[in-house]
Chain A
Amino acid sequence: MPRLLGSLGISLAVVLVLAVLVSLVPGQVFRPIEGARIFDRVSVCPFGGSGCQPGQSPAPAALPFHLRSDHGDGIHMARFTLDFARTGPADGVTAVFLPRFSDAISISVNGDRLTPAPWLSGDGRNFHHWHRPFIATLPNAGLKPQGNVLAIDLAADGFQDISLYPLYVGDAAALDFAFQLAGIARVGSARVNFSLVMLAGSALLIFWVMHRRDMIYFWLAAASLASAVVCYHWVYPNLITNYRSWITFWNFAAAFQIWCTLSFVCILLEAPCRRFRLVAIALLAAGAAGLCLLHPDVFRLGLAVYQLGFLLLTLLMLSTLVLHRSATPALNFGVLFGLYALALALAFGQWISRHILPDWAPALTSTLIPVVFILSLLWVIFFQLARSIARYENLLAALQSTINDKTAELQATYSRIARQDKIQAIDEERQRILLDLHDGIGGQLVNMLAYMSTQPKQDKVLETAIEDALRDMGLMIDSLEAGDSIATQLGLLRGRLEPLFARHHVDLAWQIEADPHLPGAGPSQNLTLLRIVQEAITNAVRHAQASRITIAASCQSISVTDNGSGFEPSSPERRSAESGGIGLTGMHRRARAIGAELIIESSTAGTRVDLSWDRPWGNAPAS
């Protein structure tokens, strides 16, 4: 509550300062116009119909002159008369120019009515009470050189004043120019305002639909359309013939415009003012209904109170802005608060002039309020647009960076896939070569062996050579297909050696207790290992005439033991030449190449070939 009172005080102070500043702008000055005479003294017959009533004599009156009705009901009238001389040549034109008056006008010259007086038939549609300028041109031909009588009939609804300000009679051209100038500030600006609020209202409605039903745009559109009703008053004849009904409607439109603006402010600042808004609109509607029911004599007072009410609502809207200003950027708050405070100051000035000081004619008129309102609309649209663009650009930047990240990711994936495709292509190529070896050379070697077995003359050397070649090819193919498992390759080796064992009646003890693992080795190192083992086994079968061979494996060793005749390990050349295989020298060389230790012990009781390793093959001593 103290915060609300504080912000209310701040708002009120700002509005009062602005109101004082506005009042300091010099009021309307009635300057002499060259070629025309200014009249600030006239005769007046109050409440006259077509001249002074019987028993009534014209009274002198100094302009500006204000006449208040003593009863609120119906229409009251006054006739102002003055004598004037025509200006210029006899075929020229004299004009009557009233910069400011209220409310409806009809003039007569020398007893002839020149403009109609529709209010005489009860038509209140031309009552506007807003001091529009008026000009009437009078052909000199119909005028006397001197002593012409101009009668100005002014009429107003019972609750409003009749006002007449100094007026000019003289050269039509000069007065027309002054009339046009006055028209720009009043009728012209009123029309421009009307068009602008209609345009802004439509644009905001479209914004509302396009921007996912953002209520900010909805309430501003509603405020604009309410403002259009307010401006309509100064542009076209009133919509309702009964002037007081129209004025009530018009005031409600003004109040509704303020209420819609309040709704916009609440949403913009995310202020919790739902209940306040509901109470406010209910009061405004009830007030308007009350005005309709009010006795004509107190309608003017009721109107003043009602207007004070929606001026107070504007003040509360300003305090809401102050209270929740942290919800919006300082610039947005500053501009909106300034414009709304200015509008309130202008409206307050109008209220004072209407209801308290009719003689005070502020230069800044009520048509300025829509201008201030339009400025606030433009600002909101501009600000929201700027913010949308900023957000959009931020989003775009974020998206761009996401796209960059994803593109990089995608490229990495592509190159990985490309690498994999390459690996797969190599793999497929290897498979193809494998199959060619298999079906081609392998198949033919087997076929040759089959052929040789049917021939009467057996060539053992050739047969052994072919069998060795086939076995070596088998080792190569195994290493390509199961190169990572030495145990499986040993198992496959056993399968291929089975016919050899069978032929030589060898009893095999198979003790592969673990999968031997040569640390850091690949298929090619494993292949070398298998070749050493194969050589050891075939040596035992072919040359040592062993009847029992034991093949044992652990994680770090493979051994081949036989019970054959043995040999002299120190003379490997002899063995090598005889066997046609790689020989003991080759076995030692290969063992060194893979960093394994090869120990061959042989006696007449048998041979033991022990292959072991205890470190990764890559760290083998470079001997």
Chain B
Amino acid sequence: MTDTAPPYSVLVVEDQEHTAQRFARTIDAHPDLTVCGVASDLATAWTLFESRKPRFLLTDLGLPDGSGVEIIAAAVNADWTCDSMVISVFGDRQRAMEAIRAGARGYLLKSDPVEEVARQILEVIHGGSPMNPKIARYLLDVMGRADDIEPMADDNSLTQREQEVLNLVARGYKRREIADLLEISVGTVGIHINNTYKKLKVSTNIEAVARASKIGLL
């Protein structure tokens, strides 16, 4: 498998049969994507992952024999390039963040339109990071900085521009709309979003901070 040339191979891991097939059909229908396997449990997923070496992993989290987070982590550490996304019904925040920290590049809603699924997969493959309001809200809560605090050299908190972008994402604005509102290019919006993802991965204590703020210790 090559990293660059389409069609890109996609492994779908989903235990709901019809949902899995719908995704598989949707992905296969796109000229740049091809499904190299569909697994309904973790064991099958491991076998397919090792043998087919997919370029892209699309997985549910709650599988009958374990959590999809395990295979996401394996995709990060694989010998070949393999990006991953989570399939979620509603995009519940706790598991979405867990998957993102393990290395997933966001999540797809099971109800997302056909063309949206393929578009987001390709965006990730091309180095972008899909972002949705819930994750944006979460990032703003745990990494946002009060305006009156001076940024430090090794500061991992968000810049003012990144906060503005995330704030608009959290309110449901699309990239095109954000670009218009802030009078910047769509690409720049994508760069800001990519940067916030990087910062999230660097901040190792983020879970502790989030929990601390949640139970009122901070």
Which residues of A pack against B, CB within 8 Å? 420, 423-424, 427, 431, 434-435, 438-439, 442-444, 446-451, 453-454, 467, 470, 473-474, 477-478, 481-482, 485, 487-488, 490-496, 498-499, 502, 510, 512, 515
Contacts and interface: CB of A to CB of B under 8 A. Distances in A.
A482 B137 contact: yes
A492 B172 contact: yes
Contact of B133 (A444, A454, A492): A492
Interface in B105-131: 109-113, 115-116
Given A446-B16, A499-B111, A439 B89 contact: yes
Interface of B: 16-19, 21-22, 60, 62, 88-95, 109-113, 115-116, 132-134, 136-137, 169-174, 177, 214-216
Given A435-B62, A453-B22, A474 B16 contact: no
Contacts of A427: 214
A474 B17 CA distance: 22
B16 A447 contact: yes
Contact of B216 (A420, A453, A482, A494): A420
Given A450-B18, A485-B137, A496 B215 contact: no
Given A423-B215, A482-B133, A496-B111, 7 more contacts: A420-B215, A447-B16, A454-B22, A487-B172, A488-B134, A492-B132, A495-B109
Contacts of B60: 443
Q: Which of B89, B92, B112 has the most CB of A within 10 A?
A: B89
A438 B92 contact: yes
Contact of B173 (A435, A485, A498, A512): A512
Contacts of B112: 498-499
Contacts of A512: 171-173
Contacts of B93: 481-482
A352 B47 CA distance: 119
Given A453-B22, A454-B18, A442 B177 contact: no
Contacts of A495: 91, 109, 132-133, 172
Contact of B22 (A438, A450, A488, A494): A450
A481 B171 contact: no
Nearest to A436: B62
A447 B90 contact: no
B182 to A, nearest CB: 14
Contact of A490 (B92, B172, B174): B172
B215 A424 contact: yes
B113 A502 contact: yes
Nearest to A445: B89
A515 B171 contact: yes
B215 to A, nearest CB: 6
A491 B16 CA distance: 27
Contacts of B18: 447-448, 450-451, 454
B89 A446 contact: yes
A445 to B, nearest CB: 8
Nearest to A490: B172
Contacts of B92: 434-435, 438, 477, 481
Nearest to A491: B172
The 8 A-B pairs with the shortest beta carbon distances in the complex, nearest first, are A491-B172, A491-B133, A442-B89, A450-B18, A447-B16, A450-B22, A451-B18, A494-B172
A120 B21 CA distance: 136
A450 B133 CA distance: 25
A450 B92 CA distance: 21
Contacts, number: 117
Among A427, A435, A443, A448, which residue has the most Cβ atoms of chain B within 10 A?
Answer: A443
B89 A443 contact: yes
Contact of B113 (A446, A498, A510, A515): A498
Given A443-B16, A495-B172, A499-B111, A477 B22 contact: no
Contact of A510 (B21, B94, B177, B215): B177
28 contacts: A427-B214, A438-B90, A442-B89, A443-B62, A444-B16, A446-B89, A454-B18, A454-B21, A454-B22, A477-B92, A478-B90, A478-B134, A487-B171, A488-B170, A490-B172, A491-B169, A491-B170, A491-B172, A491-B173, A492-B133, A492-B172, A495-B91, A496-B111, A498-B112, A499-B111, A499-B113, A510-B177, A512-B173
Nearest to A476: B90
B89 A487 contact: no
A493 B19 CA distance: 21
Nearest to B133: A491
B133 A470 contact: no
A444 B89 CA distance: 10
A438 B95 CA distance: 11
Contacts of A473: 90
Given A443-B89, A454-B21, A495-B172, A435 B95 contact: yes
A495 B62 CA distance: 22
A514 to B, nearest CB: 9
B170 A496 contact: no
B109 A496 contact: yes
B111 A446 contact: yes
A439 B62 contact: yes
A482 B137 CA distance: 8
A510 B172 contact: yes
Given A490-B171, A499-B113, A477 B16 contact: no
Nearest to B174: A510
B51 to A, nearest CB: 27
Most chain-A Cβ atoms within 10 A of its Cβ — which of B88, B111, B132, B173? B111
A194 to B, nearest CB: 72
Given A420-B216, A492-B132, A496-B109, A442 B90 contact: yes
A471 to B, nearest CB: 9
B134 A510 contact: no
B171 A450 contact: no
B3 to A, nearest CB: 30
A492 to B, nearest CB: 5
Max chain B C-beta neighbours (<10 A), residue from A450, A477, A487, A493: A450
A427 B94 CA distance: 12
Given A420-B215, A423-B215, A442-B90, A447 B172 contact: no
Contacts of A502: 113, 115
Contacts of A470: 89, 111
A438 B89 contact: yes
B21 A487 contact: no
B129 to A, nearest CB: 16
> Among the interface residues B93, B112, B115, B171, which one has the most CB atoms of the partner chain A within 10 A?
B171
A387 B113 CA distance: 88
Contacts of A474: 90
A493 B62 contact: no
Contacts of B111: 446, 449, 467, 470, 496, 499
Contact of A450 (B19, B113, B169, B173): B19
Contacts of A494: 133, 172
B60, B91, B170, B172: residue with the most chain A Cβ atoms closer than 10 Å = B172
B15 to A, nearest CB: 8
A408 B16 CA distance: 55
Contacts of B214: 427
Contacts of A442: 89-90
Contacts of B95: 435
A488 B93 CA distance: 13
A487 B137 CA distance: 10
Output the residue of B19, B21, B95, B174 with the most chain A CB within 10 A: B19
A447 B18 CA distance: 5
